[in-house]
Chain A
Amino acid sequence: MIKTEKLSKRYPGGFQALKNISLSIGSGEMVFVTGHSGAGKSTLLKLIGGLESPTSGTVEINGQDITKLSQSAIPFLRRNFGFVFQDLKLLFDRSVFDNVALPLIISGLPRSEIAKRVRAALDKVGLLQREKVNPVSLSGGEQQRLCIARAVVNKPAILLADEPTGNLDPAYAADIVAMFKAFNRVGVTVIIATHDPAMIEGLGARTISIEAGEMTL
């Protein structure tokens, strides 16, 4: 259960990215956040995931206001989320396997457990055969899927994806959306930011529209 109350974010320099966003997303829901580039979609996802802190307003996750969490509690909050970053943030100094293993290593899981979970995540996104290669040698769509595998490997309750189909051709994009749908079916709350109306079509999912930092619906 995610609930925001009068959420605002003003960046240093005066840019008002979000204004008074109040919304509520039920657990197990799949929600799209749409709007033009620069409308504030990414900012909303970052605030929900605790990657940034708001200028004012609150973000409640399961009844807890995460904007009041101490710095030292933030890392543990982030482990409840799976992030699919717009710029992927893959590490090219290590294999596909090691990229996906990172969140589990951070959580301090034993090696054997890590291997099992990483392979399961890679299997879900269809990259099991590529675990040993460096992400550099993956195609754009494969890199995107790698990022998704890393996001879900921790079995997060909430998946936050920022433009996950940004630079992909429509066939690939449909693949990715189907993947998110599958995660949603097993109970994961999925929030996807996108500027691509084609992605939402026919899914019957709820849409939150943001224009110039304000909710329009």
Chain B
Amino acid sequence: MNWFFLRLDALKDSLKRLLSRPIVTISNIVGLGISIAIPAGLFLLVASADNLSRDISESTQMNVFLDLGVNDEQVNKIKQRLSLNYVKEVKLIDRDDALKSLRENNEIAVVLDNIDNNPLPHTLVVTAKEGKLVELEALGREAKTWEGVDQIAFDSDWARRLQSFIDLGKVVALCFGALFAVGIIANTYNLIRLQVLNRREEIEVAKLVGATNSFIRRPFLYFGALQGLFGGLLAVVIIEIGSRYSVSTLNELFSQAGITFQRLTVQELGVLIIISALLGIIGAWFATNRLIAIYNK
């Protein structure tokens, strides 16, 4: 029972202190919430793009654009040359079909109406078997020299470029996260240190009448944890509101690119709150650690 009452008292004490200076508390929590929401939000964006580009960069597809003037016989010949044992499928997109599907887009249709000839080439979409990207690339290099072949394009090319940008974005998000985490710890450290200094008399008397170090430290740790907890909750609210309004807009914007922006899952939001509370505890621990040792005599 003692175990429970000791902690209950410390928790009450911390809550009382949080509530006793509402303006300070609120501004601290807002600061915490924003510091956590920014890197988390950034990471969310980067992670969404990451999923897509990973899919593509591993895709074993290439587009073989043929010369405008090739006839059906040549097309078939090229198609046969491409159908090697590691190739799963070679699909022809006829230039007329391509034009038709392009016409379905009203804006482009206007442009196409002003062009007499079909500007689109026949396209062969070559899909290799899984894991045969290297072979496919070699095939592409060779095919480029064939008669009737105009250009080769790999999906994986631009996806790789995108991926390197995303990797950079990830590093940036992580750096932001780390910096903000250090900021949160330092901030909590300062705040709790001031509190410990303000309560010096109380701490000294408590130690004289038999308080253990953990008894002294407990309300400060709880204070840090509670503040971090509320900061984390606020961050979750910020991220949820932000993604509610932006996810659908972003998805519309990037639907062509096939990127779907996700929202954080409940587990991820929970982890965010726990991390935030932990940062508060770490700051409080550092602050109390040194000062309590000083008061020990």
A residues near B, CB below 8 A? 51, 71-72, 75-79, 83, 85, 89, 91, 93, 102-103, 105-111, 150, 154
Contact = CB atoms under 8 A, between A and B. Distances in A.
Nearest to B297: A52
B9 A79 contact: no
A78 B202 contact: no
A105 B205 contact: no
Contacts of B167: none
B2 A109 contact: yes
Contacts of B208: 51, 78, 83, 85, 89
A150 B211 CA distance: 14
A106 B209 contact: yes
A124 B102 CA distance: 97
B197 interface: no
A108 B202 contact: no
A102 B208 CA distance: 11
> Which of under 10, 10 to 19, 20 to 34, or 35 or more describes the interface residues of B?
20 to 34
Contacts, number: 57
A154 B211 CA distance: 13
B210 A78 contact: yes
Complex A-B, nearest 3 residue pairs according to Cβ-Cβ distance, in ascending order: A108-B2, A79-B210, A78-B210
Interface of B: 1-3, 5-6, 9, 201-202, 204-213, 215, 296
A72 B2 contact: no
A106 B211 contact: yes
Given A78-B208, A102-B206, 5 more contacts: A75-B213, A89-B201, A91-B201, A91-B205, A105-B9
Given A89-B204, A91-B205, A103 B210 contact: yes
B210 A75 contact: yes
A125 to B, nearest CB: 16
A78 B5 contact: no
B206 A72 contact: no
Contact of B205 (A72, A75, A89, A154): A89
B93 to A, nearest CB: 78
Contacts of A78: 208-210
A75 B208 CA distance: 8
A210 to B, nearest CB: 22
A57 to B, nearest CB: 19
Contacts of B212: 72, 75-76, 106
A111 B202 CA distance: 20
B5 A150 contact: no
18 contacts: A51-B208, A75-B210, A75-B211, A76-B212, A77-B210, A78-B209, A85-B208, A89-B204, A91-B202, A93-B202, A102-B205, A102-B206, A102-B209, A106-B209, A106-B215, A108-B6, A109-B5, A110-B5
